[in-house]
Amino acid sequence: MKLQNGLNLKSYLRGVKDIFLLDTIVSSGSGDVRLTTTSDITGSMSKVGGSYDGKVTAVIGNEASDVDSIVSSICYAYLKAHYNNNTMSDAAASAIIPIASISRSNLHFRRELDVLLKTIDLELNDLLCVDEVPLSRIHDNNKLSLILTDHNKLSSELSPFSSCVIEIVDHHVDSNKYSWVTGMLRDIAFDSITSKALVGSTCTLIAEKYFQLNNCDSALSAEIATLLMGVISLDTINMDPQAGIGTSRDSSALSRLQSISPHDQHHLFESLRDAKWDPIFWRDLSVMDSLIIDYKLFTTPSASSKPIGMSSILQTITDFTTKSDLRLGIAQFMKEQSLSMLVVMSCIQTPAPRRELLVITDNDQLLGAVDKFLMNTSSHNLDCVLQEPLTSRMQQVLKATNQVPGGTVIEPMLCSIYTQGNSKASRKQVAPLMLAFYDSYSK
């Protein structure tokens, strides 16, 4: 790769955002998609995609849109937009844009991202959200390509664009989707034999791609280094061995990024951690907001079965279950998502890493099967123990049939709450286990 003359990160992001938010994507009489740019951003567009011909290559993270997904998409789109890449012929004449896979209305929940962006003089408002880009229109005009970061399977909402996927950079178990994406374009750092990610953060993989540049020292700016360093340190809990997330590749990337960033890694980590795990913030959230912040929807090969949802929260299950809108919030969330089962994963880092699981369903046979599976140590290494007193109290709340103002009836639900002894197993390990179990149960 060779450096092209280009914009700095701030100008790049703001130029891309302006193009879409000024409603400059229009349909011409022939049905093609074209960009009508004002004079002040015409120059920006020439840098965003080189010799632009109406095509758009969107770099997009997963549906949970955590900071790793969003920052990896930003940094990789910026690299692709400003450097020639001979393996990306499909995107050679595209406007390459990063998209946060989250609605604008929910972006404010990413408090750690807000802190990180402000560190390099950017704002949440500088980002482009998925509901601000007419992907369907671009796709219908055969002008869309997708690069996936921090996931390797599109969400159900974006699945109509599956044929547009041209590259993957990820560290989750390979879903084996998009078989045409192979070789260097399919960078999935996950060991299927050990069921472990080979890096703790997708941003480590993006950093390595910068390091591979012939002129890396001049290409990797302090702003990009700060973004990548902040996310890698946050994802690996600052390489805390107790967390068991960071790898030697993460450590190597952090060391090199620290030599470029003007910010201290440890201070940056602490500021991001405090924003992400702020107990006052989590206490004041509604149930619906708590569940949607870091949520993923999973389907199984059994087409007849409803999907299951998995939400990660950063407070104890005890604290979560004391929310005043608990019963109604859970019922509304599960109804909106059409779920057969909701798994709430709790993660606490102080005084020591601790994980809990809350499983909710209206199917007593399914819950019984879940109990047997999670507490069967021969099936996995999660080391789950049922919290019987807390489960009993929660069951009392969920079993009651309630009628809320407006006449809506909330049907009884069932639940089990577990302590997850293996605190090193995050959703990327737990989700495949639960999906395999659920697929087998549904057959």
Single out the residue of 155, 153, 442, 159 nearest to residue 306, CA to CA: 442
Higher-confidence residue: 18 or 12? 12
- Tell me, letter by letter, the H, E, C secondary structure of the chain: CCECCCCCHHHHHHHHHHHHHCCCEEECCCCCEEECCCHHHHHHHHHHHCCCCCEEEEEECCCCCCHHHHHHHHHHHHHHHHECCCCCHHHCCEEEEEEECCCHHHHHHCHHHHHHHHHCCCCHHHCCEHHHCCHHHHHHCCCEEEEEECCCCCCCCCHHHHHHEEEEEECCCCCCCCCCCCHHHEEECEECCCCEECCCCHHHHHHHHHHCCCCHHHHCCHHHHHHHHHHHHHHCCCCCCCCCCCCHHHHHHHHHHHCCCCCCHHHHHHHHHHHHCCHHHHHHCCHHHHHHHCEEEECCCCCCCCCEEEEEECCCHHHHCCCCCHHHHHHHHHHHHCCCEEEEEEEECCCCCEEEEEEEECCHHHHHHHHHHHCCCCCCCCCEEECHHHHHHHHHHHHCCEECCCCCEECCCEEEEEEECCCCCCHHHHHHHHHHHHHHHHC
Of residues 50 and 130, which shows the higher confidence score? 130
- Mean per-residue pLDDT, 208-219: 82
Residue 93: predicted pLDDT? 55
Range of the domain at 237: 9-276
Q: Are residues 19 and 158 in the same domain?
A: yes
Provide the pLDDT for residue 34. Answer: 41
The verdict on 42 and 68 lying in the same domain is: yes
pLDDT tens-place string over residues 254-267: 999 999 999 999 99
Per-residue pLDDT tens over the stretch 298-313: 988 765 678 999 999 9
Residues 224 and 302 reside in one and the same domain: no
Question: Residue 185: exposed, middle, or buried by beta-carbon count in 10 A (0-12, 13-18, 19+)?
Answer: middle
Percent of the chain with pLDDT over 90: 70
Tens of pLDDT along 144-169?
999 999 999 999 999 999 999 999 99
Give the pLDDT score at 186: 98
Q: Give yes or no for residue 41 having a pLDDT over 90.
A: no
Q: How confident is the model at residue 81 (pLDDT cuts 50, 70, 90)?
A: confident
State residue 406's pLDDT score. 61
Separation between Cα atoms, residue 402 and residue 408, nearest integer Å = 8
Q: Residue type at 274?
A: D
pLDDT of residue 408: 65
In the chain, how many domains are there? Answer: 2
Whether 405 has a pLDDT exceeding 80, the answer reads no
Question: Do 238 and 351 fall into the same domain?
Answer: no
Last residue of a domain, one of 257, 276, 295: 276
Whether 291 shows a pLDDT value over 50: the answer reads yes
Residues 348 and 321 occupy one common structural domain: yes
* Whether pLDDT at 83 is above 50: yes
Q: Mean pLDDT throughout 139-145? A: 94
pLDDT on residue 53: 58
Task: Tell whether 171 and 254 lie within a shared domain.
Answer: yes
> pLDDT confidence of 351, banded at 50, 70, 90?
confident
Residue 156 lies in a domain: yes
Same domain assignment for residues 307 and 379 = yes
On whether residue 3 sits in a domain, the answer given is: no
| Highest mean pLDDT (candidates 41-45, 57-61, 133-137, 424-428) | 57-61
Residue 375 CA, chain-centre distance (Å), reads: 28
pLDDT recorded at residue 15: 81
Asked whether residue 104 carries a pLDDT value surpassing 80, the answer given is yes
Residue 1 maps to a domain: no
pLDDT value of position 82: 74
pLDDT of 305: 75
Per residue in 409-422, pLDDT (tens digit) is 778 899 999 999 99
Q: Are residues 412 and 429 part of one domain? A: yes
Q: Tell me, what's the pLDDT at 404? A: 59
Cα separation of 111 and 423, whole Å?
Answer: 24
For position 285, which CATH number holds?
A: 3.10.310.20
Mean pLDDT of the region 105-112: 96
Q: What is the pTM of this model?
A: 0.88
Between 119 and 219, where is the model more confident?
Answer: 119
Residues 176-183 have a mean pLDDT of 97
195 plus 293 within the same structural domain: no
Instruction: Please check the confidence at residue 175 and state whether its pLDDT lies above 80.
Output: yes
**Please, what is the average pLDDT of the chain?**
87
CATH code, domain with 232? 3.90.1640.10
In the chain, the percentage of residues whose pLDDT exceeds 70 is 85
Q: How far apart are CA 413 and CA 410, in angstroms?
A: 9
Res. 216 pLDDT band, cuts 50 70 90:
confident
**Same domain for 272 and 284?**
no
Give the domain-ending residue among 245, 260, 276: 276
308/242 same-domain check: no
Residue 2 in any domain: the answer is: no
Average pLDDT over residues 222-233: 97
Task: Decide which of 218, 253, 276 is a domain's last residue.
Answer: 276
Q: Is the pLDDT confidence value at 94 over 80? A: no
The reply to whether 4 falls in a domain is no
Mark whether 315 and 252 lie in a shared domain. Answer: no
User: Residue type for 318, please?
Assistant: T
Is 20 a residue whose pLDDT tops 60? Answer: yes
CA–CA gap between residue 298 and residue 318 (Å, rounded) = 25
Residue 347 lies in a domain: yes
Whether 93 is covered by a domain: the verdict is: yes
Mean pLDDT, to the nearest integer, of 91-116?
89
Q: What pLDDT, in 10s, does the model give residues 180-193?
A: 999 999 999 999 89
